[in-house]
Structure 1
Amino acid sequence: MRFIGCALAWRPGEAREKVSCLVVLDERGSIIANSFAANAEDIAGTVAGYGSERRGTLVGVDAPLAVPNERGTRRIERILSKVALPAYSASRRMFGGEPYSEELLSELEKAGVEYTDYPFPRERGQSVVVEVDSAATLKVLSLERSGTADNGDLAKRLRAMDDPKFRKGNKENRAADLRGAIEVLWDTPGLRLRTGNLAADISAPENVDVSKLDVSASMSHAELDRTVGLVEGMLAAYTVHRHWRGRNGSIVVGAGDEGSVLLPARNALRERLAEECSTAGVPYV
């Protein structure tokens, strides 16, 4: 199996203008490749290449994939907001019609990768794509890293934690937040950042070793943007890999065309999300 995280440039002003990033994990959780792609067709072709002659491909796209609402927010976004997890605000109106993610799903389907709201854990042979939320994953991992994920007032601790802010702002703050995110990833059990076929060259078109980069304000905003893509891609790949392994906990909030998102969640957080889903009548598993 191959586990691919896609940091999709999907937002208005980004879609079809900026590159997206793909990060690939093997079954052991080792990063074996990453690359940048210019459009949906390129992404689908790269995904197909990474999954060639493998026993399945599980893709996590860090973007809203099913956007049924013309205005406002999706129900799953409201659930995440209630538990103080970062949530996308997506509507068809903000895209002026078809979201870029729908174009991506169409191209992935041509490559044999189908949209699902629930990838099956431990099952090889599936080639599916699911929505993930890298910012929420990073916040969950930071909580778990602190060792207090299942102690005390979970809601209070989540509200007290800052959401990631490395996408915008001055270079000093962006670089500091990126270093913090990379440190969290480095300490995440089941994820191996450093492998022999990656190099510390942020300008390279593929196979960049984020753990060896000197992430600082001396980088240009364009270089910081590429680093953000790599970090978000790693978080997306980790999310689907963790779910597939069936360890440490995960949850899918929402279902089908109404929108769903796969998140890492265990014990107290999973119970909290399940409670909000039940109250709002939103499916979860």
Structure 2
Amino acid sequence: MRFVGCALAWRPGEAGEKDSCLVVMDERGSIIANTFAGSTEELRGAIEAYGEERRGVIVGVDAPLAVPNERGTRRIERILSKVALPAYSASRKMFGGSPLSEDLLEELEKIGMEYTDYPFPRERGQRVVVEVDSAATLKVLSLERAGEDGDPGTVLRGMADPKLRKGNKEGRAAAIRGAIEVLWDTPGLRLRTGNLSADLSAEENIDVSKLEVSASMSHAELDRILSLVEGTLAAYTVHRHWRGRDGSMVVGTGTEGSVLLPAKGALRDRIAEEARASGVPYV
């Protein structure tokens, strides 16, 4: 099996202008490859190559895959915001039509991949695509790392969201370094493998854990590192779910918008409570 995280450049102003990033994990949780691509066709080709002669591939796309609402927000976004988890604010109006993620799904269908809201844990042979949220995953991992007791919603509200995308270079560099530190400390995730390099200018196979992230970098370089971080978080999310050991859940349905999240114990119970109150399915 291969587990691919896709940090899709989907936001208005990004789509068609910035590269997207793919990060690939094996069943052991090791990062074995990554690459950048500028179009959905290139993403399809790379994902097809990563899945060749493998017993299945699960792709976690860090972007809204189902956007049925013309305006406002999706129901899943409102649920996540109630427990202080970051959520995409997506509507068809903001894209001026269909989002880039729909184009990606069409491309992936050409190679036999299916959009789903629930990949099956421990089952090989799947070729599916699911929506994830790297910012939410990062915050959950930070919560688990802190190990604080009490209501998880209260704890999450007390945690500042890192300024990964906006702000000056000093603030962004510090936030990205913090995110990499969280990844480094995450059980079940092996960041450093022998076939990756510390050359940020390389087209593929960059070891994000070896990069010296600093304010001397350009915003474009920080964006490139952030894409690697987001792709890693996306790959980790689907791999964690597939392993079925550390806790995960899907909130929402495919047609209305759903998100696969790492969640266990009190946090899972808290999200489930909000989903039930809103009449939104979860599993």
TM range (shorter): over 0.9
Q: For structure 1, which runs of at least 5 residues remain unmatched after alignment?
A: none
Equivalences for residues 181-260 of structure 1 within 5 A: 181-260=179-258
Distance 2:178 2:189 in 1: 16
Write out the 4+ residue segments of structure 1 that deviate beyond 4 Å after TM superposition.
none
Residue 271, structure 1, aligned to residue 260, structure 2: no
User: Could you tell me which amino acid in structure 2 is paired with residue 129 of structure 1?
Assistant: V
Distance 1:227 1:45 in 2: 22
Structure 1 residue aligned with 2:33: 33
Distance 2:122 2:163 in 1: 34
Aligned to 2:174, which of 173, 176, 190?
Answer: 176
User: Could you tell me which amino acid in structure 2 is paired with residue 162 of structure 1?
Assistant: A
Structure 1 residue aligned with 2:145: 145
User: SS where residue 250 of structure 2 aligns?
Assistant: strand
Instruction: Give per-residue Cα distances to partners, 1:43-84, cap 9 Å, x unaligned.
Output: 011000000000000000000000000000000000000000
Aligned residues: 283
Structure 1 residue aligned with 2:23: 23
Residue 162, structure 1, aligned to residue 160, structure 2: yes
Structure 2 residue aligned with 1:56: 56
1:166: Cα distance to partner?
Answer: 1.0
Structure 2 residue aligned with 1:121: 121
Q: Is the 8 A contact 1:61 1:129 kept in 2?
A: yes
Distance 1:2 1:178 in 2: 26
User: Could you tell me which amino acid in structure 1 is paired with residue 166 of structure 2?
Assistant: K
User: Could you tell me which amino acid in structure 1 is paired with residue 173 of structure 2?
Assistant: A
Q: Is the 8 A contact 1:135 1:164 kept in 2?
A: no
Among all aligned residue pairs of Structure 1 and Structure 2, give the percentage whose two residues are the same amino acid.
Answer: 79
Q: Is the 8 A contact 2:151 2:266 kept in 1?
A: no
Q: For structure 2, which runs of at least 5 residues remain unmatched after alignment?
A: none
CA RMSD for the aligned pairs? 0.6
Structure 1 residue aligned with 2:112: 112
Distance 1:129 1:100 in 2: 15
Structure 2 residue aligned with 1:9: 9
1:164: Cα distance to partner?
Answer: 2.6
Residue 42, structure 1, aligned to residue 39, structure 2: no
TM-score, structure 2 length as denominator? Answer: 0.99
